[in-house]
Amino acid sequence: MAVPIRTAVAALCTGLAAALLTTAPARAEKQEHTWAVSASAQAPRARISLDDGTGTLSLSVTRAGRTVIEPSPIGIVTEQADLSQDLRFLHRKNRTIDERYRTKSGKRLDRRVRMNETRLSFATPTGARLDLVVRASADGVAYRYVLPAASGDVLGETSAFHLPPDASAWLGTYRADNEGQFVPYTAATAPTGEYSDQALFATDGGYTLLAESDLTGTYSGARLTHDQGTGAYRVKLADDRVRTDGPLATPWRAMVTGDLATVTRSTFTDDLAPASKAGDTSWIKPGTALWTWLAGGRPAGQSLAAQKAYVDYAAERGWPYEAVDAGWYFKADAWDTTDPDWQTNSWMPELVEYARAKGVGIIVWIHQRDLDTAGERARWLPTLERWGVQGVKIDFMDSEAQATLKWYDAILPETAAHHLLVNFHGSTIPKGIQRTWPHVMTLEGVAGEEKRTNTAAHLTTLPFTRNVVGSMDFTPGAFQRVGLRPNSDAAEAGLAVAYESGLQMFAGTPESYDARPLARDYFDQVPAAWDDTRLLAGRPGQEAVLARRSGDRWFLGGVYAGAARRAEVPLTIGPGRWLVETIEDGTGGLVQRRQVLRGGDRIAVDVVANGGFAGIACAWRPGLTSCYR
């Protein structure tokens, strides 16, 4: 019996070995062609798949097992190779990113970044190489392409985002100045056309804001193209050909995702961006400003006397900046920049000195065409620094083409070297720029207060779209524009907090503020840098109530669209008892209410049609009667 048993055992072992040899490679091959990346079990999960037959890549995102982004194509095409198909997998490399950084402005100053990163390497049959880098954090997923040198110019991407057709969508029609209004659709019913890449969707996996980060002159800005009837949103570049010189890392295609509070509070696009390149940042000081354009227009910009009067008002209010807009160097007092003695003929040094004596810094408007060459920048920027100007508002770039992005790359280190704060208008949107260049205080890229066609619904959508990705120069406070803005006075006051901007430019006239002393005194209290941000209540297009903390005080800003209502807002700013002071619309103008509430209680506010409120909350103690200082 012994010999047959040994023979049987040997035969069994041989059969098992053969089975393992034939099945093991199949299991390994299947695993190699599907990869998952996530920061934790509760965080969004990216799944990257390589189709064996076509060699094409796709990426999908889920959260808690629910759909965020359906499988969507990934790929890039250069003049040397089509890197969207016929790919074969080479290898995978993982790493963890854990870092801290501090900003000068934004939703919170101290940031902690924790991400898991996977780098997947592929090659075509001809040997062309593509690395796909995917990052995942608690509030987002992002990917970028990395190409070796000699890959050739980029001719386009096949990248797209596929949403469930019935997903709710809030989209802004694409404009070069990024000033389109956000309108609600579903993913499939949005009209055929081009949309801003800051598109918000709601699926069963929560809310997702599409975005971009680390955009520089090495590449081209992106927009989304859509065909009605589908849930597909394809990436289209501003340039038909992106010039490359050496290795290339494209911008991040980012998906900020989670519940609405998570998306609103997210700093994901900043977290993806490179660290600060500004060196010493001690001179960078965010603040509120009296902006004179809507208050006085071009005539005020051409008048030294008018500007001194605005400086006087800013000093009286304790506002740290006054912004002089267009007109001050266009034949002002019979001089312009074509005059060889223009630097000595200007009254700007006199205004700067006048303002400095009163504790007010001057910010000046400049057209981009006057700074578009190295020679012009060498003439302007040192002169402004010598005069003592604190910052520049640069206007009318109106492009996200590679050539314009290279101009940004040039002027950013130059303005930092000359200690000039920057406010970009007619511009791209932040896309991580404020982490890399913290002297960039704010950017327009929004249908702001100047627009006469804004709706209350648009105003309630901005905290969940444009303002998620960085500071937004909406210029609130234009109380004098009654009939030209869609909201109430209390809502207008609330915008100063609902919208974050490192330079919060108040757009009203001194007379309009003095006619509304409650709003004026509230603006005196509002800072422009925040230690924390929380969403108290919100639904895009309907309501947005944000709380932002500065030190031991929380500032509240609420905006609503639609009929009058009794709003009840949860006071989720921490335990204990709070003194809450709100500014609301009354029958004869603005009114103020004070109440003591516990953390978690609800603030009841009577909101007028398309109204809102502003407020301050501070820890209550016996005898405390106001949070104002």
Active site residue 450: yes
Question: pLDDT digits over 225-268, tens only?
Answer: 999 999 999 999 999 999 999 999 999 999 999 999 999 999 99
Of 530, 551, 577, the one marking the end of a domain is: 530
Q: Are 67 and 204 in contact (CB under 8 A)?
A: yes
Residue 320 lies in a domain: yes
Angle at 144 between CA 139 and CA 145, to 5 degrees: 165
pLDDT at position 491 is 98
Could you report how far apart the first and last alpha carbons of the chain are, in Å?
99
pLDDT at position 485 is 96
Question: pLDDT digits over 615-629, tens only?
Answer: 999 999 999 999 999
**Closest to 491 measured CA to CA, from 466, 465, 511, 462:** 462
Q: How many independent structural domains does the chain possess?
A: 2
Provide the sign of the torsion angle of the four alpha carbons 309, 313, 318, 321, taken in this order: negative
Which CATH number covers residue 243?
Answer: 2.70.98.10
Question: pLDDT digits over 438-468, tens only?
Answer: 999 999 999 999 999 999 999 999 999 999 9
Domain holding 200, by residue range, is 33-272
Residue 25 lies in a domain: no
* Confidence grade of residue 343 (pLDDT, cut at 50, 70, 90): low
* Whole-angstrom distance, CA of residue 34 vs CA of residue 13: 32
Q: What tokens appear for 502 in the block?
A: 């490192």
Whether 241 and 301 map to the same domain: the answer is no
Mean pLDDT, to the nearest integer, of 41-49? Answer: 96
Whether 161 and 253 map to the same domain: the answer is yes
* Whole-angstrom distance, CA of residue 606 vs CA of residue 284: 39
Residue 544 lies in a domain: no
Angle at 524 between CA 518 and CA 529, to 5 degrees: 130
Whether 388 and 426 map to the same domain: the answer is yes
Whether 338 and 314 map to the same domain: the answer is yes
Select which of 153, 450, 531, 532 is catalytic: 450
3-state secondary structure of 191: coil
Whether 376 and 339 map to the same domain: the answer is yes
Residue 629 lies in a domain: no
Residue 261 lies in a domain: yes
Whether 45 and 117 map to the same domain: the answer is yes
Q: Are 395 and 365 in contact (CB under 8 A)?
A: yes
Residue 13 lies in a domain: no
Of 488, 508, 530, the one marking the end of a domain is: 530
* Confidence grade of residue 21 (pLDDT, cut at 50, 70, 90): very low
* Residue 16 predicted with pLDDT over 90: no
Question: pLDDT digits over 347-382, tens only?
Answer: 999 999 999 999 999 999 999 999 999 999 999 999
Q: What are phi and psi of 321, to 5 degrees?
A: -135, 155
Whether 158 and 52 map to the same domain: the answer is yes
pLDDT at position 32 is 47
pLDDT at position 301 is 81
Residue with the bigger pLDDT between 1 and 275: it is 275
* Confidence grade of residue 24 (pLDDT, cut at 50, 70, 90): very low
Kindly report the number of other CB atoms within 10 A of residue 582's CB atom.
23
Active site residue 568: no
Helix and strand element counts for the chain (H, E): 14, 38
Residue 611 lies in a domain: no
Whether 303 and 268 map to the same domain: the answer is no
Residue 608 lies in a domain: no
Which CATH number covers residue 381?
Answer: 3.20.20.70
Whether 346 and 458 map to the same domain: the answer is yes
Q: What tokens appear for 618 in the block?
A: 């501070």
Whether 238 and 329 map to the same domain: the answer is no
**Closest to 242 measured CA to CA, from 406, 112, 412, 434:** 406
pLDDT at position 180 is 92
Question: pLDDT digits over 161-179, tens only?
Answer: 999 999 999 999 999 999 9
Question: pLDDT digits over 278-299, tens only?
Answer: 999 999 999 999 999 998 888 8
Select which of 70, 139, 395, 500 is catalytic: 395
H or E stretch at 602: strand 602-607
The amino acid present at 607, given as its one-letter code, is V
DSSP H helical ranges for 252-339: 260-265, 268-272, 293-301, 304-317
Whether 40 and 164 map to the same domain: the answer is yes
Of 272, 303, 322, the one marking the end of a domain is: 272
3-state secondary structure 468-493: HCCCECCCCCCCCCECCECCCHHHHH
Whether 248 and 316 map to the same domain: the answer is no
